């Protein structure tokens, strides 16, 4: 298993620890003018460094909302600070996947971990936001894409921004827990519910991923009127939309894909995708497209997402 080229590495975030909300690593700026409250969230996973680059860009360059309120948060800083250049993928999380525990069952439950403690601390921050951009990246070098609950409001904003051009819609949720963008009101289609999007910006340690994260963050803020557009709109690209059909977790230490996968490969109906001990993962349809196949199978974590084009 090869280590990718490490073009972007963590930086010391201690200067950002003291925000102005009473929650470490959370900074809020109120314009004093009516408008939406937008949350830009970075480092839900500690090794997804592009979000850190985008968030520090906002803070370092003094971006302030002309209307509404801007909140910038660094989520799983403890995992981020565990980064080891010899094992760059291992700082994703310390105990729990922080993007699977945003349900009342987890947040109000008796279990504890660094991720649960941090999510509980951030709960009020997320509750306060009208619109959320949660910035992520991928272990494999694949094109960037959006991920969001399949509500019209989310798709409309993702398509209006125009980049990335790939969309992964979740008609029935993620299938392996509750992500941040489905927490509270963002997880339903009720009146007044806000937009909540994940942007997967590309491979974790590539400079292009950090550049895209910063550009999409500024696009997102401009879309909601918090800032003026900072550059001409991205060139219009054909938008490709996929819906999530199945989420498979690794069940045994004998998990194996039938061929090497990095993501966006397609399979015919009933074609074997992976074997997991006695379990078989087969394509549920013709043209089944895989998203985010695991780079390193770990029991209990996601193995692969199966989708189809829509």
In this prediction, residue 191 carries a pLDDT of 82
Per-residue pLDDT tens digits for 54-88: 999 999 999 999 999 999 999 999 999 999 999 99
Phi-psi region at 253: left, alpha or beta (left = phi > 0; alpha = psi -120 to 50): alpha
The verdict on 140 and 287 lying in the same domain is: no
The reply to whether 84 falls in a domain is yes
E strands, the chain, in order: 26-30, 37-42, 69-74, 131-138, 145-149, 166-170, 196-203, 240-249, 255-257, 266-267, 272-276, 279-282, 288-291, 302-309
Q: Are 176 and 249 in contact (CB under 8 A)?
A: yes
Has residue 236 got a pLDDT over 80?
A: no
Q: Residue 230: pLDDT band by 50, 70, 90 thresholds?
A: confident
Across 24-50, average pLDDT: 98
The verdict on 209 and 301 lying in the same domain is: no
Q: What is the mean pLDDT of the chain?
A: 95
**Domain termination residue (choose one: 194, 223, 252):** 223
Q: Are 151 and 132 in contact (CB under 8 A)?
A: no
In this prediction, residue 233 carries a pLDDT of 58
Has residue 234 got a pLDDT over 60?
A: no
What pTM does this model have? 0.95
Q: Residue 127 phi/psi, 5° resolution?
A: -55, -35
SS3 state at 47: coil
In this prediction, residue 231 carries a pLDDT of 67
Per-residue pLDDT tens digits for 193-212: 899 999 999 999 999 999 99
The verdict on 276 and 200 lying in the same domain is: no
Q: Residue 1: pLDDT band by 50, 70, 90 thresholds?
A: low
- Token pair, residue 137, equals 């990246």
The reply to whether 235 falls in a domain is no
CATH of the domain at 278: 2.40.50.630
The verdict on 148 and 251 lying in the same domain is: no
| Neighbouring residues of 245: CB distance < 8 A, sequence distance ≥ 6 | 284, 285, 288, 306, 307, 308
Distance CA 21, CA 28 (A): 7
The continuous run of DSSP H or E covering 104 comes out as: helix 104-107
In this prediction, residue 235 carries a pLDDT of 59
The verdict on 250 and 218 lying in the same domain is: no
In this prediction, residue 2 carries a pLDDT of 61
The verdict on 85 and 25 lying in the same domain is: yes
The verdict on 44 and 163 lying in the same domain is: yes
Q: Residue 28: pLDDT band by 50, 70, 90 thresholds?
A: very high
Domain that holds residue 141: 14-223
The reply to whether 287 falls in a domain is yes
The verdict on 180 and 304 lying in the same domain is: no
CATH of the domain at 28: 3.40.630.10
**Domain termination residue (choose one: 172, 189, 223):** 223
Q: Residue 5: pLDDT band by 50, 70, 90 thresholds?
A: confident
The reply to whether 8 falls in a domain is no
The verdict on 282 and 162 lying in the same domain is: no
Total tally of structural domains belonging to the chain:
2
| Neighbouring residues of 298: CB distance < 8 A, sequence distance ≥ 6 | 250
The reply to whether 20 falls in a domain is yes
The reply to whether 288 falls in a domain is yes
Q: Residue 237: pLDDT band by 50, 70, 90 thresholds?
A: confident
Q: Are 229 and 104 in contact (CB under 8 A)?
A: no
Has residue 129 got a pLDDT over 90?
A: yes
The reply to whether 9 falls in a domain is no
Across 284-303, average pLDDT: 96
Per-residue pLDDT tens digits for 149-199: 999 999 999 999 999 999 999 999 999 999 999 999 999 988 888 999 999
**Domain termination residue (choose one: 164, 191, 223):** 223
Per cent of the chain over pLDDT 70 is 97
The reply to whether 215 falls in a domain is yes
Q: Most distant CA pair in the chain: distance in Å?
A: 60
The verdict on 192 and 294 lying in the same domain is: no
The verdict on 30 and 105 lying in the same domain is: yes
The verdict on 213 and 154 lying in the same domain is: yes
């Amino acid at each position: 298993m090869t280590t990718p080229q490490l073009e972007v590495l963590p930086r010391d975030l201690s200067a950002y620890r003291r925000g102005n909300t009473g929650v470490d690593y959370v900074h809020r700026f109120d314009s004093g003018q009516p408008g939406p409250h937008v949350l830009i969230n970075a480092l839900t996973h500690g090794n997804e460094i592009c979000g850190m680059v985008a968030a520090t860009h906002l803070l370092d360059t003094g971006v302030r909302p002309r209307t509404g309120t801007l909140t910038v948060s660094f989520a799983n800083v403890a995992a981020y600070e565990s980064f080891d250049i010899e094992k760059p993928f291992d700082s994703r999380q310390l105990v729990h996947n922080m993007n699977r525990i945003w349900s009342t069952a987890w947040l109000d439950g008796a279990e504890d971990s660094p991720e649960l403690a941090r999510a509980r601390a951030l709960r009020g921050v997320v509750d306060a936001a009208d619109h959320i951009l949660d910035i992520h990246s991928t272990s494999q070098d694949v094109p960037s894409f959006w991920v969001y609950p399949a509500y019209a409001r989310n798709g409309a904003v993702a398509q209006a921004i125009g980049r990335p051009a790939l969309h992964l819609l979740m008609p029935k949720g993620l299938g392996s827990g509750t992500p941040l963008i489905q927490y509270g009101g963002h997880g339903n289609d009720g009146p007044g519910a806000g937009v909540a999007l994940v942007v997967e910006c590309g491979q974790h340690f590539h400079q292009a991923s950090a550049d895209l994260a910063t550009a999409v963050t500024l696009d997102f803020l401009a879309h909601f009127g918090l800032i003026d557009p900072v550059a001409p709109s991205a060139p219009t690209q054909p938008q490709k939309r996929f819906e999530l059909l199945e989420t498979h977790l690794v069940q045994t230490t004998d998990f194996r894909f039938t061929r090497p996968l990095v993501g966006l490969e397609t399979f015919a109906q009933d074609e074997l995708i992976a074997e997991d001990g006695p379990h078989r993962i087969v394509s549920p349809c013709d043209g089944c497209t895989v998203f985010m196949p695991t780079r390193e199978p770990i029991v209990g974590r996601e193995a692969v997402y199966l989708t189809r084009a829509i």
